Chains A and B, each alone.
Chain A
Amino acid sequence: MKTTTSDMGRNRTGVATSPIDSADITQEAQKHQPSHLGDGSLLLQVRQIYARESEGLGSVPPPVSLKGVAKTAVDVLKGSKPTVFIDKLGERLAFERSGTRLYEGALAKFDVYGSWEGGPTREGLEKIYNDELSHFLMLTEALKSLGADPTAMTPSADVAAVVSQGLPLLIADPRANLRQSLEALLVAELADNAGWEMLIELARDLSHDTLADRFQLALESEVQHLLWVRGWLAAGVSVEARGAPAREERAGTQPRV
């Protein structure tokens, strides 16, 4: 088990590992002209051709209840596009649900690696885990109340999953210690905070004020999560940089919020 992350060792990835060989291959590379003219923009041009031909990732499913059908019809008559809200609700639901699994993984790492001065506590991680889980439920209920199917993977949920593919990968990697895993949680919380903020704005724009009020409460807890995770991570980096030994007992403290 390794609690530190930045020890000096035999890293071979840079050119300085092999000065003679690297000088030789650099010289050789400079001697040769590219086989074809142009630059990296050609790659982007091909991507643009495919983008023009694309029909997107997929769609939002139709409403599942009569109530949902009626709401959709009313919204359409009012000139709005109700599927946008459903799509974004589906995104937050999927993100919170996956986030729950991230914190499960972080708790498992906490048990192995312990914490550090200013690092996470079990209570802190559990609190966030419980928040993610209850946000998932709240969003399930919100989607049901709009007559939508909360089990569907919406296009925005799919996008969020693609964007965050690395998060569960790192959390599940037993070689990444708790401090390194906090990097994944930081990315998740940053995205989560922005996601909730935008969802609240959208809810207010569409006059879903009751939902917006509930989402505001969720955002408040997400703000707290971000402060904690950022604080834990910063403390961990600082502790190691100062050369202080990592504390292996499970006794980190929560930063003040």
Chain B
Amino acid sequence: MALDILQEKGVPLDKQVFTWKDLVRRPYSKLDDDAFTRVCVIYMNGIMADALRTKHAFARMNRELREPLALIRRLEQYEQTLINWLNPADQTPLETTLGFEQVAIEVTASVALREPDPYLAQTYRFGLLEDFDHLYRYSALYDRLEGKDPNNITQSYTDIIPGRPTSVEHRHPLDDLRRPYDKRAAHPLTKLHAMSITAAENQTHDYYMTVGPFFSDPVARQLYAEIASIEEQHTSMYESLLDPGESLLEKWLMHEACEVYNFYSCVAFEKNPRIKEIWQRFLDYELGQLHYVKEIFQNVEKRDAAEVLPSTLPEPIGFKEHRDFVRKTLNQEEDMASNGQDYVRMADLPRDHRSYIWRDQLNSDGSPSETVAAGYKWIPGTELAARTPRMGSTFEGKKVH
């Protein structure tokens, strides 16, 4: 049933309360919960991280809104804590990384399929193929560093194969900027999509920048450095889709709507009742925050929030596998590149193009993403499962070594 966000008032701010025990709950199970439960947790942590990030930036640029921003930010910091702390301690940073890439693939695929603006849809497909390759590179790292199977985390929903090779994803900064949507003409879903994917990618960048130094292996450290750099490119790319002409309050209002939409999507998906109850609670909290900001918006901007907000929310995000779509996109668009704001075939870029120069410089001492996955082909049980028979071991006979 569609949610009427202008009618549903949610929970008022003074009723949005927490305790430390409440914030630090029993995490989901790495082994037993559905991979998309992990996807939702990682994704919503990203959405809430961006809620804070954006509102801190607003507060640094606006004196009048500092108090309401501080009030909302504090509540959202608690929400983010509760969500992020659902990640279990037996899930290593590399395993969580695999989850991050599954988010980037499956959520971006859902968004790309539903995006009404063809230019933005192409941008999501473009980024999707790059994150798709990251899953393959990190999978090789997980397999080769620790002897573990990445599919234990992705649970057979997502292909583990090369995408657009990470080593060719490095571009000149000006080739990562895109044309923004037009705030007056864009469909509300276009705005929600752009904000959501920007948030997810920004958090991915920040996560890799945090955990990269925890690794001891030099290729692992290089790989995190390399892919963090791509996530910075993606953040630049996706955030450039946002119309800079939107007023600060309009952006704030839409961000609250974006948070509502994403919690609403999680409620629609989640099968684990313990986790679903959290999504429902925060959906109600975010509705309360939306209406609080809506009042400020209408008082300050002297216009009806209904001009900006959708009355009913679009279809929820599809937290499910998109293998057919991703394979088709890979088949048709792997060799895409960007020239400024436009998409071109890689072969059509002149060899002295600024992005080639940028990429060649970075790769001139070797490419970590190529090193880590040299000859790598995922099979169930890790690549060692394919190597073993060549060792001449026998099971039926007596000799085992």
Among candidates A98, A153, A176, A217, residue contacting B31 with C-beta atoms closer than 8 Å:
A153
Among candidates B32, B146, B388, residue contacting A133 with C-beta atoms closer than 8 Å:
B388
Do residues A155 and B31 form an inter-chain contact, with CB atoms below 8 A? Answer: yes
Q: Does chain A have a CB within 8 A of B174?
A: no
Which stretch of B64-72, B318-326, B389-397 is in the interface? B389-397
Least distance between B96 CB and chain A CB atoms (Å): 14
Contact A137 B26, CB 8 Å, known A59-B32, A172-B220: no
Q: A127 CA to B393 CA in the complex, in Å? A: 12
Do residues A168 and B398 form an inter-chain contact, with CB atoms below 8 A? Answer: no
Chain B residue at minimal CB-CB distance from A95: B147
- B contact residues around A169 at 8 Å (CB): 215-216
- A contact residues around B152 at 8 Å (CB): 151-153
Least distance between B213 CB and chain A CB atoms (Å): 12
Least distance between A169 CB and chain B CB atoms (Å): 5
Which stretch of A17-25, A32-40, A158-166 is in the interface? A158-166
Do residues A172 and B215 form an inter-chain contact, with CB atoms below 8 A? Answer: yes
> Size band of the A side of the interface?
35 or more
Q: A99 CA to B147 CA in the complex, in Å? A: 8
Q: A163 CA to B151 CA in the complex, in Å? A: 21
- B contact residues around A150 at 8 Å (CB): 381
Chain B residue at minimal CB-CB distance from A221: B401
Among candidates B151, B215, B385, B387, residue contacting A140 with C-beta atoms closer than 8 Å:
B385
Q: A173 CA to B29 CA in the complex, in Å? A: 30
Q: Does chain B have a CB within 8 A of A58?
A: yes
- Residue count of chain B within 8 Å CB distance of chain A: 37
Contact A173 B393, CB 8 Å, known A58-B29, A136-B384, A221-B401: no
Contact A134 B388, CB 8 Å, known A55-B26, A58-B29, A98-B147: yes
Contact A214 B400, CB 8 Å, known A140-B385, A151-B380: yes
Contact pattern, A 82-107, Cβ under 8 Å of B = 1, otherwise 0? 00000000000010011111000000
Do residues B148 and A140 form an inter-chain contact, with CB atoms below 8 A? Answer: no
Least distance between A247 CB and chain B CB atoms (Å): 26
Q: Does chain B have a CB within 8 A of A249?
A: no
Contact pattern, B 188-222, Cβ under 8 Å of A = 1, otherwise 0? 00000000000000000000000000011110100
Do residues A172 and B145 form an inter-chain contact, with CB atoms below 8 A? Answer: yes
Least distance between A149 CB and chain B CB atoms (Å): 9
Tell me the residues in window 203-255 of chain B with beta carbons closer than 8 Å to chain A beta carbons.
215-218, 220
Chain B residue at minimal CB-CB distance from A93: B381
Q: A98 CA to B148 CA in the complex, in Å? A: 7
Do residues A136 and B388 form an inter-chain contact, with CB atoms below 8 A? Answer: yes
Q: A151 CA to B380 CA in the complex, in Å? A: 6
Q: Does chain A have a CB within 8 A of B179?
A: no
Contact A130 B391, CB 8 Å, known A50-B26, A58-B32: yes
- A contact residues around B299 at 8 Å (CB): none
Do residues B384 and A217 form an inter-chain contact, with CB atoms below 8 A? Answer: no
Tell me the residues in window 152-205 of chain A with beta carbons closer than 8 Å to chain B beta carbons.
152-155, 158-159, 161-162, 165, 168-170, 172-176
Contact pattern, A 109-138, Cβ under 8 Å of B = 1, otherwise 0? 000000000000000000100110111111
Least distance between A197 CB and chain B CB atoms (Å): 16
Q: A98 CA to B381 CA in the complex, in Å? A: 11
**Residue from the set A153, A170, A214 with the largest chain B CB neighbour count within 10 Å:** A153
Q: Does chain A have a CB within 8 A of B9?
A: no
Do residues A100 and B147 form an inter-chain contact, with CB atoms below 8 A? Answer: yes
Closest 9 CB pairs of A and B: A58-B31, A134-B393, A173-B216, A172-B217, A98-B147, A101-B147, A131-B401, A137-B388, A97-B147
**A interface residue numbers (CB < 8 A to B):** 50, 53-59, 94, 97-101, 127, 130-131, 133-138, 140-141, 150-155, 158-159, 161-162, 165, 168-170, 172-176, 214, 217-218, 221
A130-B393, A134-B393, A152-B152 known; 15 other A-B pairs, CB under 8 Å?
A57-B88, A94-B147, A97-B147, A97-B384, A98-B147, A127-B401, A133-B384, A133-B391, A134-B388, A136-B384, A153-B152, A158-B90, A169-B216, A217-B400, A218-B401
> Can you give 21 contacting A-B residue pairs, CB < 8 Å?
A54-B26, A57-B30, A57-B90, A58-B29, A59-B32, A97-B147, A101-B145, A133-B393, A136-B385, A137-B385, A137-B388, A137-B395, A138-B393, A138-B400, A140-B388, A151-B151, A153-B30, A172-B216, A174-B216, A175-B216, A217-B399
